Every structure is written in C-alpha cells, then in structure tokens.
Amino acid sequence: MLVTRPEPGLSETMAAVTALGWHAVAMPALRAEPTLHAPLPVRGVRAILVTSGQAVTALAGLVPAEMPILAVGAATARRARAAGFAHVRAAGGTAEALAGLARARWRPADGALMLATAPGYGLDLATVLRRDGFRIVRRCVYRIRPARPDPEVLRASVGRGVEAALFFSAETARRFVRDLPRDVREALRDARAIAISDRAAEALATVPWREIVRAASPDQAAMLDLLGAPGR
C-alpha cells in the first residue's frame, strides 16, 4: 500500500492506513520546504487563506496567533489550531469552497486577504477572489520540490505486490507518474489508484492501473473509506 503525500500529512496517513491492517509504504512524490524565516508583515491583512498543511507549518510562530485563518479543509484547520492559531475556520476541501468561505466571512471593503502558498500555486484562487473585488496579497511561504523516490526502492516495493496507492493532490499524482520507471508502470496493473479529486485522477490515467477511483469528498476519510480493510 503506497502513500505518496508529503509531510505534513504523510505520517498521519501512514498511521491511519496501518490501523486498517495494511502494510503502508511511504513513497512521497514531493517534499515541502518552508521559505519563511522571519515574521511575516500582516499590517492591513484581515485574514490569511491557507490551502495546505505546508503553509500552516511555514506560518507557525511567524504571524500573530490571533490572525484569522481560513483553511481549505478540516485537516488543514486542525493543523492550524494545533499550531496555536486561535481563530480558524474550515472550508469544504477545495479552492472553490475556500473562495466561498472568504466571500461569506468578509467583504472586499473589510481589508486585504493574504494567500499563503508556494510558487506556482494558488493562482486561480487569487484570480477568482480579485475578480470579486478582494485585494489579495499572495505570499510564497514554502516551496515544493520533487522527492524522486529511489527507483530500486520503488521496484522492490512493487515487486512485493501493491494493492493500492493513495494520491492526495493533482501535483502529487503528476510527479509520481513523471518519475515512474516504465517497468514499474507495467507492474502496477493489479493495483488500484485512489485519488482525492478528478484532477488527481486525470493525472494518473497514463498508468495501466487496475482501476482509478475518486473519493466522494476531498479528504482522507473518504479516501480511506474507498481503501477499506485488507480482504474487504
């Protein structure tokens, strides 16, 4: 059972998959590196939007704990609360839901909204909210790098048999496919790919999986429900 998400989140998913009775193998396709090393100026900012746990990790201790946080989903909201943020609200797990939460909570006249993200990420969300009249301050507080799993480790894991693989983002799925050796692609014919979204599922389509299934909602619980226990 391959778990391809990076930290933060990888360890949590590994524990949940193990608790279901699977042998979980960590195979992160990406790694996140915080780039924020000094307090982030937030004067004039009404709230901070975060689309991932990586952003929460980067912000912790470097913005005031009383700054309102709008999180993309429940898991990211939990991480924000655990990091000490006092005013956290969760959206429904997608960028569209996060934009809707921002519209419901604030008006453009209330002040700027900061989008804490990584280079190349969050552009569509920023564009949508700017069209609605919001002033969006986009700040890159972490960066994403390919993890590039060792091909021999990957071959050894697949050689022992893989029942399924979990993909928590479209970018993770794209990177996993991009770095996959041709012989390993063929060896995944008997495995299921469990994707968090339609975009993640589409990115996996070039690999000959036994099947690609999409979670009913964009969260870990829905993905694990599809995985189930061994032999179910």
Q: What is the DSSP string of 157-190?
A: HHHT---EEEE-SHHHHHHHHHT--HHHHHHTTT
Distance CA 72, CA 57 (A): 14
Specify whether 89 is located in the same domain as 152. Answer: no
Domain that holds residue 107: 33-143
Task: Let me know if residue 177 belongs to a domain.
Answer: yes
Res. 154 pLDDT band, cuts 50 70 90 = confident
Q: Give the mean model confidence (pLDDT) for residues 216-232.
A: 89
Specify whether 56 is located in the same domain as 88. Answer: yes
Res. 151 pLDDT band, cuts 50 70 90 = confident
Calculate what percentage of the chain has a pLDDT beyond 70.
Answer: 100
Name which of 11, 55, 57, 6 is nearest 172 in CA terms: 6
pTM of the model: 0.84
Q: Give the mean model confidence (pLDDT) for residues 123-132.
A: 96
Specify whether 25 is located in the same domain as 40. Answer: no
Residues 115 and 134 sit within 8 Å (Cβ to Cβ): no
Per-residue model confidence (pLDDT) at position 232 = 63
Per-residue model confidence (pLDDT) at position 159 = 79
Give every CB contact of residue 136 below 8 A, 6+ residues apart in sequence: 112, 113, 114, 115, 126, 129, 130
Residues 60, 136, 89: CA angle, nearest 5 degrees: 50
pLDDT tens-digit profile of 98-109?
999 999 999 999
